[in-house]
A = this chain, B = another copy of it.
């Protein structure tokens, strides 16, 4: 039976990340050379769908908004997806936010306080480069909070995401899956290329040394927070072209499923035509 790309990429329950092939091309019919054409077609569809979404936001005829949430180890390609997949649509319709180490002010609030502030408005496609999940990933691995507090956060995240999807939000959570070898190769490439040195941070190696702990933290986050209203998707990200295609295709599939109509005129068209003629 034909299934959607979303269904094919969804993950939930107890999983072992090591069982997943980072170089899989799930749902893509063809080879790398075919992906450029497919991206062009996806770009046209995404552009149309995004404009319908935006139009409804502007016309206040709907409260729908979309949030593409990206998580993954360093070099897994969060930035690449924003550039090559999100970059296919009109930038006016995007609301991109990159979460860094929390500021002192943010730390004085609940961990979801800063997340809430950056949720997309109606009509927008939000993109989160890292997210609330950092607080159960680095938070867990680096023991930045008490175990009981980390435990509390999984349920708090589920409730928060439920409130978002209950109020017109469509949440697309993507874990960009790479192996430790994939990362080694990409970090080496950054070190070899002076035009990429600015992307490199010695702290990346410190995090890399905790690879297994991070993988385990991701497995727990997927087990606890892959819900019916906001499932996690595992994006095989060992091949950059597939990773970009998969996220663009997943976004297009979700937008298509909304059956967005153009908003009706809130004025009398014939009256306005007559007014225009007289100018």
Interface, chain A (partner B; CB < 8 A) = 55-56, 58-59, 79, 82-83, 86-87, 90-92, 94, 96, 98, 129, 180, 184, 187-188, 191, 194-195, 197-202, 205, 208-209, 262-265, 267, 269, 272-273, 275-276, 279
| CB<8 Å pairs between A and B, sample of 19 | A55-B198, A56-B198, A83-B90, A86-B91, A87-B87, A87-B91, A92-B129, A184-B279, A188-B276, A191-B269, A191-B272, A191-B276, A194-B265, A197-B262, A197-B269, A198-B262, A198-B263, A200-B267, A200-B272
Give chain A's interface secondary structure class.
Answer: helix
> Known contacts being A275-B205, A279-B208, is A79 close to B58, with CB within 8 Å?
no
Partner of A92, one of B79, B184, B209: B79
Give the docked Cα–Cα distance between A59 and B194 (Å): 13
How distant is A72 from chain B, measured CB to nearest CB, in Å?
A: 16
Chain B: CB-nearest residue to A183: B279
- Note all chain B residues with C-beta closer than 8 A to A202: 267, 272, 275
Give the docked Cα–Cα distance between A83 and B87 (Å): 10
Copies in the complex: 2
Give the docked Cα–Cα distance between A275 and B202 (Å): 9
User: Does A58 contact B198, Cβ atoms closer than 8 Å?
Assistant: yes
- Note all chain B residues with C-beta closer than 8 A to A200: 265, 267, 272
How distant is A121 from chain B, measured CB to nearest CB, in Å?
A: 12
- Note all chain B residues with C-beta closer than 8 A to A129: 92
- Note all chain B residues with C-beta closer than 8 A to A180: 279
- Note all chain B residues with C-beta closer than 8 A to A87: 87, 90-91
- Note all chain B residues with C-beta closer than 8 A to A55: 198-199
Known A-B contacts: A87-B91, A201-B267. Give 19 more (CB < 8 A). Answer: A55-B199, A56-B198, A59-B198, A82-B90, A83-B91, A87-B90, A91-B94, A92-B129, A184-B276, A184-B279, A187-B276, A191-B276, A194-B265, A197-B263, A197-B269, A200-B272, A205-B276, A205-B279, A209-B279
Partner of A273, one of B98, B188, B263: B188
Chain B: CB-nearest residue to A188: B276
Give the docked Cα–Cα distance between A180 and B276 (Å): 11
Give the docked Cα–Cα distance between A190 and B119 (Å): 31
Give the docked Cα–Cα distance between A86 and B262 (Å): 25
Chain B: CB-nearest residue to A198: B55
- Note all chain B residues with C-beta closer than 8 A to A209: 279
User: Does B92 contact A264, Cβ atoms closer than 8 Å?
Assistant: no
Give the docked Cα–Cα distance between A267 and B206 (Å): 14
